[in-house]
Amino acid sequence: MAELVFFSGTMDCGKSTLALQMDHNHRARGRSGLIFTKMDRMGESVLSSRLGLSTTAREVTDRLDFWDELVEFATTGHSVDYLICDEAQFYTPEQVEQLARIVDEMAVDVFAFGITADFRTQLFPGSRRMIELADRVQVLQVEALCWCGRRATHNARVVDGVMVVEGEQVVVGDTKPGTDTGLVEYEVLCRRHFMRRMNSTAARAAAASPDTLPFDLDLCPVPPC
């Protein structure tokens, strides 16, 4: 029975790596698949992992209709067993509905990968629809870590070293500084430090401050917080 599976987790937890691995494993068993992504950090029509692997992919635009795309592909004599859909948080809710229909009516497996929430902790519309429609939502096993060592659960946006909670929902960027968007970068944090807006830069500054009292520095470097 074909399935719609949403593999989710924070940024930098290995989603794109898993997407590439799943494509490899299914292809190695003679199944044929199509790879889609949207606004990958490395550019258009590429699915890239921070481990260094990448592959060409079909770029998802807001106008793309997955159902029509597959029908057209099938009319050229090709068969499709599965779809790999990376950066699915950026898909429209209608596109997620098309993917569910492809699973149910074409018996094609859809493996989707994405973050659930943005830098304000709000669900992306595409991820919300995935959670609503998927047969399974699978949280990745590899845990990204907060600077304090706890499991990271939230994606923080950092501008010039300072965590921000206002701005456009979509700004493509990386968890490493100095990449494509220049000033905007992301850092994964545990909820505790996300709620305190305490990213690694702020924590380092607080630890270096002579005003910081020597208790529970990890949680509350600048009392009262």
Ligand X SMILES: Cc1cn([C@H]2C[C@H](O)[C@@H](COP(=O)(O)O)O2)c(=O)[nH]c1=O
Q: Provide the token pair at 225.
A: 């917080």
Catalytic residue (choose from 87, 105, 166, 185): 87
The interface partner of residue 142, options being ligand ADP, ligand X, none and the CB cut-off 5 to 8 Å by kind, is ligand ADP
Number of residues this chain uses to bind ligand X (CB under 6 A): 16
Q: Is 44 a catalytic residue?
A: no
Nearer to ligand X, 165 or 219 (CB): 165
Residue 115 touches ligand X, criterion: CB under 6 A: yes
Please tell me the distance from the alpha carbon of residue 111 to that of residue 51, in angstroms, as a whole number: 20
| φ, ψ at 203 (rounded to 5°) | -65, -40
Residue 186 touches ligand X, criterion: CB under 6 A: yes
Residue 142 touches ligand ADP, criterion: CB under 6 A: yes
Please tell me the distance from the alpha carbon of residue 175 to that of residue 173, in angstroms, as a whole number: 7
Nearer to ligand ADP, 11 or 100 (CB): 11
Identity of the residue numbered 34: L
Residue 139 touches ligand ADP, criterion: CB under 6 A: no
By CB under 6 A, which span of 45-53, 75-83, 127-135, 184-192 interacts with ligand ADP? 45-53
Tell me: is residue 161 an annotated ligand-binding position.
Answer: no
Q: How far is the CB of 224 from ligand X (least distance, A)?
A: 28
CB contact at 8 A, 48 and 154: no
Distance of CA 88 to CAs 38, 76, 99, 116, 218, Å? Answer: 7, 26, 11, 9, 34
Q: Provide the token pair at 85.
A: 């859909």
CB contact at 8 A, 3 and 109: yes
Tell me: is residue 178 an annotated ligand-binding position.
Answer: no
Candidates 139, 135, 128; CA nearest to 8 is 139
Contact residues for ligand ADP, defined by CB under 6 A: 11-17, 49-51, 142, 144
Residues annotated in the binding site for substrate, as ranges? Answer: 170-173, 186
Catalytic (active-site) positions:
87
Catalog residues that contact ligand X under the rule CB under 6 A. 11-12, 15-16, 41, 115, 118-119, 155, 157, 169-173, 186
